Structure 1
Amino acid sequence: MGYADPHRAALEDNPEHAEKLTLSVALSAFFLGTSLTGPIVFGFLFVSTILVQLTHKIGGENNSFWIPSGWSAAAGVVSCIAGRLSDIFGRRDILLFGQFLTIAGGIVAATANTMNQLIAGEVMLGASIGAVAVAYAGISEILPNKYRGIGLAWTELNLAVWAVPATLLANLMVTNASWRIMYYIAIGYGTFSLVGTACVYFPPKNPRADGKTKWQQCKELDFMAIFLFVAGLVVFLYGLNSGGTTYPWVSVGTLVPLVLGLTTLLAAFAYDFTVADDPIFPWYLFKAFRRYSALLVLIFIASMVFYAAAALNAQTILFLHSADPVKIGIYSLPSGFAQLVGGAILPAFVHRIKHVHYQIAFGLFMQTLFFGLAALITPTNLNWLMAVQFLAMFPFGWVTLNCYTTASLNIPQRDLGVAIGLIGSFRSIGGSIGSVLFSSIFNQVAAKQVASRIAVTAAKAGITPNMIPALIGAVEGTIVGVPGLDAKFPNVPASVFSDCVSAARHGYAYGLRITWLSSIPFGIVAVVCGLCVLDPSKYFTNHVEIHLEKEIGRGESSARDKEIHEEKAMGVTGSA
């Protein structure tokens, strides 16, 4: 039977009571949920908070921005490709490959002695999260529709329990033990999830079930679009990272890769939409704005701001308040608790609250409002910093998981992998671009303000002009925790040096003010997109999309179970 509505089965195949959760389903959701922890928490959250300290350990200050950017770029590229491949080859093999990459990337990063090797490990960890993000689709389709939010909240709970003390633990590791510990833990998580997934997770081997072999479907993939997408993204990010650092923003070295990269990215989509037999970016998904593509726009924007804040949060505390790693960690706790509440608790109630589009729009409104209010943070209002930190970081997990839930209910099952993968891709790419964009705004504004304010303060105190450049360097070093620099200026009274430090902190605060004010227009666009999303609440039923082919204690599923799955897939195929 063909369904005109991609998920009409959710309405017609709706038992009075939800199916009893089997041991295999429960364990599959458990291990899939742990797959994301290694590459996200220890490959991104932990390392992003100690970038400054890492450069003092292994050097490479000018390249350290490639740690978050390389991770995000790799995650963005692999997410969309892995999602489509999981629709062809099944979720299991893609997940196992991603979990293996977590182990391999963790080993490369843990043994790094140079910044370039560390970046290589981070790129592998980013690629691993692109592959294991298939878990969002895998968990969604084995649970009753109305419990998909709970299943996805489990993935976020695994992240949030580490996100709460992430800054504190990372700073303690880098100062009192070794920063390599976080990568050893990532290796452990990758090994644990790989072994568990291999033992219990056996979804259908050919999710699309459209009469073609896997090899036939693989040959029909749009490899040209994949090549153009990867090449365009790498070139564009290179130009973005070079602007204001390696080259001025208006120089040929910056503008050429930016324009060339963006043009190549657009060419990838244009080719895929018009020429490809089996597109990696299905046009019917992109043209369905309310049903799907609005989610891509809003998650891209929300990620731009969130990932930039994740990288800048610890720097805000460092530059405005204290270089003490313990204090930095304690002052960052509200951010972690925000991710716990917003990512692991609220999404579990999405099927009870319903009106998902309003939930998404309200979460985006909160993020926009409180990141805008972060412009009021100064070196003298620590309490405001901690309050805004919680309220601004809180909505992102809520918005993100609601996007995954909405896509899983609004999109035909045959394209669930690519739909989920594209959301992950736009999330990662948005995070990569946002990290570079907002960090660049902060660094360039702050650098001018700090130098100017120190110079003015020193000049008023009668310090000779020839001493001011060295004094600026000493003040900046003191703020980031280098001891004894004030002693190198015996002719500068301690009170004057202290005034220069205070002036520098206010210079950094001004840089942050401009940074967060510049995020507001993006947030407004995201809120509008959230209001446009087609609400999937009517699909929160007891329907289960697929059944595992093997059950612990029962062996393989019956032939009839397999026929039912194939009939559903073929019915959806015919209607899509």
Structure 2
Amino acid sequence: MVRNKHDSGFAATNGHGLQDGNGVVPNSKEDVSHMEKVDRSSDENNYNNLKQTNTASTYVHETFSVKLFLALLAMSFLWVGSQIPLYLIGGVLPDVYGEIGGYDRWVWVTIAYFIPVAALCPFVGELSDLFGRKYVGMFGQLLLVIGPIVTCTANQMNVAIGGMVISGAGAGLNELIALAATGEMVPNAKRGIYVGAVVLTIIPFAPSVLWAELIVQASKWRYVGAFIAGWNGVGLILLALCYWPPPRSNSVGLSRREILRHIDYVGGALSIGGVMCFMMGLQWGAQQYPWKSVHVLVPFCIGVVLIIAYFVWEMGGYPKYPMVPPRIFSQAKRTMIVTLLITFFSGANFFNMLLFWPTEIYNVYGDDRVKIGIRSLPVGFGILGGAVISLVAIPLTKGNVRAIMMFFTALMTAGTGAVAIARPNNISTAYIPVSLACIGVGGVIIPVAIIAQIVCPDDLLGTITAISLSIRFVGGAIGFSIYYNIFYKHVFSNVQNMVAVETIIYKLGYVQGLATGDQSYVTNLAQSIAQAQYAMFRNLSTIAYNTPEVQAYIPNVTLSEFQYQIVNATEWAFASAYQWPYWISIAFGGSCFILSCFLGNVSEFLTEHVAAHL
């Protein structure tokens, strides 16, 4: 291992011969030979070989102290700050595109947040292991101050999307730092408990949609972004003042130039470019452009080629210091591989509940702000509760992660699939599967990353955490693309049939333009409510109601009743389309359940070993 003059393992001679660092004179040639061999260990060996030691000092239990508490407090601000941009701004998206326009691009507010997370995480994990958690985390906090400010001051949707890209990059860094740093500051056996405690600090923001709706009701949606920036500003200060980890073992004794030589630039460029192009192609093909168009095929194909090139580069042994060191799999290869696969497939279920249920609340059950917030509570509290229960269960079951993951993946699969029963007239019944699904999702997505940390070498905690986050978001984006394609297809079909034809034409008698083959009047009326363009809907529905055909067809129906019939038909059209993503999610959840059967017991890793002493 690399040594410096203060910790060389050797002391200067005192006239009585060579001494070791503890002042003990070697008694034999073998002792001197052994010391010389240690001294000759190179930087390369230090990087590529995990330090193995059985000395008592390495396994000292990190007692709870003020210093540890303040460091965990900083991690809490990082964790919460990495989650709330999406939860809060995502809760008021109709208000955002209602003021600045861009209804046809609103989905990119969400996707733009995820792309930098998936693209940058593996690269940042390596930087974190080399440069240290603190400075990478501070940079992430700075991005999470700038990003929300850009979004909340935007007057165009494209600018707001750009702000979410910045926020997403910061969020990817800080979720990584919060989980990895917390895990390495405490004994292996208690990682689940401590990480669970940090995760639990987001409880006040579990009803984030409700808080966002109340902020808008009291002022404007722009104050949501101001709050997010303020929170992360406080987190930046706490991180700078309260978190003082030791130098990373990967970089002790190395100069800046030597550290920079340890970065896999080619692998980073291939992974970032590949993931970004691949995800952009997927999402453009989901709504904005035909799958066979140049807009979709070019980035999609480039992304696939770059991703293949990345795997060839990494697995072919070309980089001297790979982004995914083979040593990650050295301690429990099968368990590590299975956890990464579960992470990938469970990301699709996570995105399903995170992105579809909140929009279903709005489109199927009405736009009352307080009710929207209340109906979204099962998502926040369910995911949070499931994560904590699962994390605490790891030490309580002495590392029986197979049973834990089998239970939660089964709950996630069954619950998510059962959400398909939701209809406009059974919201109370729908709460049950929604709650179970979210508990299942929470019991999988975060704990499976902690399992990967437990079986990972200490000096690669940041790397494995970053890989887990990236895989989760890539899997989620692929799942979301599949869900949204099928959902959008059925929404379009249902609005045409159930709203335009069955309700507006046959039930309400609005047939303007149909005699001449002009369907635009009926289509525009149906699409205005389907796209939540309420001002346009009120105007078009009033015009339609006052036509002679409608007055003669339904003479005793008032304007409000006329509008209600169209709104109600639209709600049923959406409900019928929403069931498809939940049905499809069963395939992803079922894959997770099967994979969980192959997890090994991690009890041997649940020791009092602490990866990083403060």
**TM value normalised by structure 2:** 0.82
Q: 576, 579, 582: which is aligned to 1:510?
A: 576
| 1-structure distance, mates of 2:328, 2:571 | 47
Q: What letter matches 1:474 in structure 2?
A: L
Contact 1:68 1:432 in 2 (8 A): no
1:301 paired to 2:367: no
| Cα distance, 1:441 vs structure 2 | 2.3
Instruction: Map Cα deviations across residues 358-396 of structure 1 (whole Å, 9 max, x no partner).
Output: 212321221111111112211111112222221111122
In structure 2, relative to structure 1, the CA distance for the partners of 1:496 and 1:59 (3 Å cut) is closer
In structure 2, relative to structure 1, the CA distance for the partners of 1:207 and 1:441 (3 Å cut) is farther
Q: Residues 133-144 of structure 1: matches in 2 within 5 Å?
A: 133-144=176-187
Q: 313, 316, 329: which is aligned to 2:373?
A: 329
Contact 1:10 1:543 in 2 (8 A): no
| 1-structure distance, mates of 2:442, 2:56 | 31
In structure 2, relative to structure 1, the CA distance for the partners of 1:329 and 1:10 (3 Å cut) is farther
Q: 11, 21, 24: which is aligned to 2:64?
A: 21
Q: Which stretch of the first structure deviates more once superposed, 468-477 or 277-286?
A: 468-477
Q: Which stretch of the first structure deviates more once superposed, 218-227 or 436-445?
A: 436-445
1:545 paired to 2:577: no
| Cα distance, 1:226 vs structure 2 | 1.0
In structure 2, relative to structure 1, the CA distance for the partners of 1:471 and 1:174 (3 Å cut) is farther
| 2-structure distance, mates of 1:388, 1:206 | 45
Q: What letter matches 1:511 in structure 2?
A: A
In structure 2, relative to structure 1, the CA distance for the partners of 1:286 and 1:258 (3 Å cut) is farther
| 1-structure distance, mates of 2:457, 2:275 | 28
3-state SS in 2 of match to 1:137: helix
1:401 paired to 2:446: yes
Instruction: Map Cα deviations across residues 268-314 of structure 1 (whole Å, 9 max, x no partner).
Output: 12212221111112345479752313222211221222223222222
| Cα distance, 1:122 vs structure 2 | 0.9
Structure 1 unmatched runs, 5+:
549-576
Q: What letter matches 1:383 in structure 2?
A: S
Instruction: Map Cα deviations across residues 243-274 of structure 1 (whole Å, 9 max, x no partner).
Output: 14332123343233222212211211221222
Q: 350, 357, 368: which is aligned to 2:402?
A: 357
| 2-structure distance, mates of 1:70, 1:535 | 38
In structure 2, relative to structure 1, the CA distance for the partners of 1:524 and 1:307 (3 Å cut) is same
Superposed CA RMSD in Å reads: 2.8
Q: What letter matches 2:284 in structure 1?
A: S
Alignment-derived partner of residue 429 in structure 1: 474
Alignment-derived partner of residue 391 in structure 2: 347
| 2-structure distance, mates of 1:380, 1:466 | 34
Q: Residues 43-122 of structure 1: matches in 2 within 5 Å?
A: 43-122=85-164
Q: What letter matches 1:335 in structure 2?
A: V
In structure 2, relative to structure 1, the CA distance for the partners of 1:130 and 1:406 (3 Å cut) is same
Alignment-derived partner of residue 534 in structure 1: 600
Alignment-derived partner of residue 482 in structure 1: 534
Alignment-derived partner of residue 160 in structure 1: 203
**TM value normalised by structure 1:** 0.87
In structure 2, relative to structure 1, the CA distance for the partners of 1:374 and 1:263 (3 Å cut) is same
Alignment-derived partner of residue 240 in structure 1: 282
Q: Residues 265-280 of structure 1: matches in 2 within 5 Å?
A: 265-274=307-316, 275-280=318-323
Instruction: Map Cα deviations across residues 333-358 of structure 1 (whole Å, 9 max, x no partner).
Output: 22222123123454234311331232
Contact 2:89 2:212 in 1 (8 A): yes
Q: What letter matches 1:280 in structure 2?
A: M
| 1-structure distance, mates of 2:444, 2:341 | 12
3-state SS in 1 of match to 2:601: coil
Instruction: Work out which of the two has the higher radius of gyration on C-alpha atoms and give 1 or 2.
Output: 2
Contact 1:339 1:394 in 2 (8 A): yes
Contact 2:214 2:369 in 1 (8 A): yes
3-state SS in 2 of match to 1:112: coil
Alignment-derived partner of residue 506 in structure 2: 460
| 2-structure distance, mates of 1:121, 1:229 | 22
Q: Which is bigger in relative contact order (C-alpha 8 A, separation at least 6)?
A: 1
3-state SS in 1 of match to 2:513: helix
Structure 2 unmatched runs, 5+:
1-37, 39-44
Contact 1:87 1:418 in 2 (8 A): yes
Q: What letter matches 2:582 in structure 1?
A: W
Q: What letter matches 2:542 in structure 1?
A: A
Instruction: Map Cα deviations across residues 313-333 of structure 1 (whole Å, 9 max, x no partner).
Output: 222112212121221112212
Q: Which stretch of the first structure deviates more once superposed, 341-350 or 300-309?
A: 341-350
Contact 2:180 2:461 in 1 (8 A): yes
Contact 1:83 1:421 in 2 (8 A): yes
